[in-house]
Amino acid sequence: MISLSINGTKQKLDIDPNLPLLWAIRDVLSLTGTKYGCGKGLCGACTVWLEGHPVRSCSIPVAAAIGSEVTTIEGLSDNNTHPLQVAWHEHKVPQCGYCQSGQIMQAAALLKDNAQPSEEEIEQAMSGNLCRCGTYPRIKKAIASAANHIHSEK
Ligand code: FES
Ligand code: FES
Protein backbone atom coordinates (compact mmCIF):
# COMPACT_ATOMS: atom_id res chain seq x y z
CA MET A 1 0.00 0.00 0.00
CA ILE A 2 1.19 3.49 -0.86
CA SER A 3 0.10 6.52 1.17
CA LEU A 4 -0.26 9.76 -0.72
CA SER A 5 -1.64 13.16 0.21
CA ILE A 6 -3.50 14.70 -2.72
CA ASN A 7 -5.30 18.04 -2.48
CA GLY A 8 -5.21 17.80 1.30
CA THR A 9 -6.71 14.30 1.48
CA LYS A 10 -4.74 11.24 2.55
CA GLN A 11 -5.12 8.32 0.15
CA LYS A 12 -4.04 4.70 0.53
CA LEU A 13 -3.48 3.13 -2.87
CA ASP A 14 -2.68 -0.46 -3.77
CA ILE A 15 -0.42 0.37 -6.71
CA ASP A 16 3.08 -0.21 -8.05
CA PRO A 17 5.39 2.50 -6.62
CA ASN A 18 6.97 2.81 -10.07
CA LEU A 19 3.68 3.82 -11.68
CA PRO A 20 3.94 7.37 -13.06
CA LEU A 21 2.20 9.81 -10.71
CA LEU A 22 -0.05 10.94 -13.58
CA TRP A 23 -1.57 7.46 -13.86
CA ALA A 24 -2.32 7.36 -10.14
CA ILE A 25 -3.95 10.80 -10.35
CA ARG A 26 -6.06 10.12 -13.43
CA ASP A 27 -6.73 6.39 -13.57
CA VAL A 28 -6.71 5.45 -9.90
CA LEU A 29 -8.08 8.60 -8.26
CA SER A 30 -10.17 9.78 -11.26
CA LEU A 31 -8.86 13.35 -11.00
CA THR A 32 -9.02 13.87 -14.75
CA GLY A 33 -8.28 17.62 -14.87
CA THR A 34 -4.59 16.77 -15.25
CA LYS A 35 -3.89 15.69 -18.83
CA TYR A 36 -1.64 13.25 -20.62
CA GLY A 37 0.12 14.95 -23.51
CA CYS A 38 3.52 13.59 -24.51
CA GLY A 39 4.28 11.26 -21.60
CA LYS A 40 7.92 12.30 -21.83
CA GLY A 41 8.17 15.43 -19.72
CA LEU A 42 8.17 17.69 -22.77
CA CYS A 43 4.78 19.41 -22.99
CA GLY A 44 3.61 20.36 -19.48
CA ALA A 45 0.02 19.11 -19.91
CA CYS A 46 0.47 16.88 -16.84
CA THR A 47 1.81 19.62 -14.53
CA VAL A 48 0.87 19.29 -10.86
CA TRP A 49 2.58 20.56 -7.70
CA LEU A 50 4.74 18.52 -5.40
CA GLU A 51 5.14 20.49 -2.16
CA GLY A 52 4.09 23.60 -4.08
CA HIS A 53 6.59 23.16 -6.90
CA PRO A 54 5.48 22.35 -10.45
CA VAL A 55 6.43 18.87 -11.67
CA ARG A 56 5.63 16.82 -14.76
CA SER A 57 3.55 14.03 -13.27
CA CYS A 58 4.05 11.79 -16.33
CA SER A 59 7.74 11.60 -15.60
CA ILE A 60 7.96 10.90 -11.87
CA PRO A 61 7.00 7.69 -10.11
CA VAL A 62 4.36 7.64 -7.40
CA ALA A 63 7.13 6.68 -4.97
CA ALA A 64 8.65 10.16 -5.40
CA ALA A 65 5.45 11.72 -4.03
CA ILE A 66 5.31 9.71 -0.80
CA GLY A 67 5.48 12.10 2.14
CA SER A 68 4.85 15.18 -0.01
CA GLU A 69 1.67 17.10 -0.70
CA VAL A 70 0.44 16.73 -4.28
CA THR A 71 -1.80 19.48 -5.64
CA THR A 72 -3.74 19.07 -8.86
CA ILE A 73 -5.91 21.59 -10.69
CA GLU A 74 -8.89 20.28 -8.68
CA GLY A 75 -7.14 21.36 -5.48
CA LEU A 76 -5.94 24.78 -6.61
CA SER A 77 -8.93 26.64 -5.17
CA ASP A 78 -12.43 26.24 -3.86
CA ASN A 79 -15.00 26.90 -6.60
CA ASN A 80 -12.43 27.84 -9.27
CA THR A 81 -11.78 31.20 -7.60
CA HIS A 82 -8.00 31.36 -7.83
CA PRO A 83 -7.12 34.73 -9.47
CA LEU A 84 -5.67 32.83 -12.43
CA GLN A 85 -8.86 30.83 -12.93
CA VAL A 86 -10.85 34.08 -12.84
CA ALA A 87 -8.42 35.74 -15.29
CA TRP A 88 -8.48 32.68 -17.58
CA HIS A 89 -12.24 33.05 -17.75
CA GLU A 90 -12.13 36.82 -18.27
CA HIS A 91 -9.58 36.58 -21.08
CA LYS A 92 -11.24 33.52 -22.64
CA VAL A 93 -7.87 31.80 -22.73
CA PRO A 94 -8.63 28.18 -23.71
CA GLN A 95 -9.28 27.01 -27.22
CA CYS A 96 -9.50 23.20 -27.13
CA GLY A 97 -8.56 23.38 -23.44
CA TYR A 98 -6.33 20.32 -23.38
CA CYS A 99 -3.15 22.02 -22.16
CA GLN A 100 -4.83 24.51 -19.88
CA SER A 101 -4.80 22.85 -16.47
CA GLY A 102 -1.06 22.35 -16.87
CA GLN A 103 -0.68 25.98 -17.93
CA ILE A 104 -2.62 27.19 -14.89
CA MET A 105 -0.68 25.00 -12.43
CA GLN A 106 2.61 26.24 -13.89
CA ALA A 107 1.45 29.88 -13.77
CA ALA A 108 0.08 29.52 -10.24
CA ALA A 109 3.45 28.26 -9.04
CA LEU A 110 5.08 31.31 -10.61
CA LEU A 111 2.70 33.77 -8.93
CA LYS A 112 3.08 32.03 -5.58
CA ASP A 113 6.80 32.75 -5.62
CA ASN A 114 6.73 36.02 -7.56
CA ALA A 115 3.46 37.95 -7.35
CA GLN A 116 4.63 40.66 -9.77
CA PRO A 117 6.51 38.85 -12.55
CA SER A 118 7.89 40.81 -15.49
CA GLU A 119 6.91 39.87 -19.04
CA GLU A 120 10.26 38.15 -19.38
CA GLU A 121 9.78 36.19 -16.16
CA ILE A 122 6.34 35.06 -17.30
CA GLU A 123 7.74 33.96 -20.63
CA GLN A 124 10.58 32.09 -18.99
CA ALA A 125 8.38 30.34 -16.41
CA MET A 126 5.86 29.27 -19.04
CA SER A 127 8.30 28.29 -21.79
CA GLY A 128 8.01 24.54 -21.10
CA ASN A 129 4.22 24.44 -21.34
CA LEU A 130 3.15 23.87 -24.92
CA CYS A 131 -0.19 24.78 -26.48
CA ARG A 132 -1.02 23.34 -29.87
CA CYS A 133 -3.79 25.90 -30.26
CA GLY A 134 -1.36 28.82 -29.84
CA THR A 135 -3.13 30.50 -26.93
CA TYR A 136 0.17 31.92 -25.67
CA PRO A 137 -0.75 35.64 -26.01
CA ARG A 138 -3.94 35.13 -23.97
CA ILE A 139 -2.09 33.04 -21.38
CA LYS A 140 0.42 35.85 -20.86
CA LYS A 141 -2.33 38.48 -20.63
CA ALA A 142 -4.26 36.41 -18.11
CA ILE A 143 -1.18 35.86 -15.92
CA ALA A 144 -0.41 39.60 -15.94
CA SER A 145 -4.02 40.38 -15.11
CA ALA A 146 -4.09 37.87 -12.21
CA ALA A 147 -0.82 39.31 -10.90
CA ASN A 148 -2.34 42.82 -10.93
CA HIS A 149 -5.37 41.51 -9.10
CA ILE A 150 -3.22 39.80 -6.43
CA HIS A 151 -1.15 42.99 -6.09
CA SER A 152 -4.23 45.23 -5.69
CA GLU A 153 -5.62 42.92 -2.98
CA LYS A 154 -2.48 43.38 -0.85
S1 FES B 1 2.40 14.63 -20.58
FE2 FES B 1 3.83 15.10 -19.06
S3 FES B 1 5.10 16.62 -19.95
FE4 FES B 1 3.79 16.01 -21.57
S1 FES C 1 -5.83 25.22 -25.78
FE2 FES C 1 -5.60 23.57 -27.17
S3 FES C 1 -3.65 22.78 -26.72
FE4 FES C 1 -3.75 24.58 -25.56
Together in a domain, 49 and 97 = no
Together in a domain, 90 and 69 = no
Q: Report CA Rg, the chain.
A: 15
133 CB within 6 A, ligand 2:
yes
Instruction: Give the model's pLDDT for residue 114.
Output: 95
Instruction: Give the model's pLDDT for residue 150.
Output: 84
Instruction: Give the model's pLDDT for residue 153.
Output: 77
Testing ligand 1's pocket by substitution, the residue of 21, 25, 42 carrying the most ligand atoms inside 8 A of its CB is 42
Instruction: Give the model's pLDDT for residue 151.
Output: 77
- 19-55 per-position pLDDT tens digit: 999 999 999 999 999 999 999 999 999 999 999 999 9
Instruction: Give the model's pLDDT for residue 48.
Output: 98
Together in a domain, 17 and 48 = yes
From 30, 53, 75, the end of a domain falls on 75
From 44, 75, 106, the end of a domain falls on 75
132 CB within 6 A, ligand 2:
yes
As a whole number of angstroms, the distance between CA 83 and CA 26 comes to: 25
Testing ligand 2's pocket by substitution, the residue of 38, 73, 88, 132 carrying the most ligand atoms inside 8 A of its CB is 132
43 CB within 6 A, ligand 1:
yes
| CB 58, CB 46: distance < 8 Å | yes
* Strand partners of residue 54: 49
Report helix, strand or coil for 3: strand
Together in a domain, 67 and 87 = no
Its domain, for residue 18, covers: 2-75
Write the DSSP assignment of 67-87 as a string of letters.
Answer: TSEEE-GGGSSGGG-SHHHHH
From 37, 56, 75, the end of a domain falls on 75
Together in a domain, 34 and 95 = no
| CB 106, CB 48: distance < 8 Å | no
**Number of folded domains that form the chain:** 2
Q: List the residue whose alpha carbon is closest to atom 3 of ligand 1.
A: 41
Q: What parts of the chain have a pLDDT lower than 70?
A: none
Cα(43) to ligand 1 centroid in Å equals: 5
Q: Which is nearest to 73 in space by CA: 49, 39, 97, 41?
A: 49
100 CB within 6 A, ligand 2:
yes
Together in a domain, 55 and 95 = no
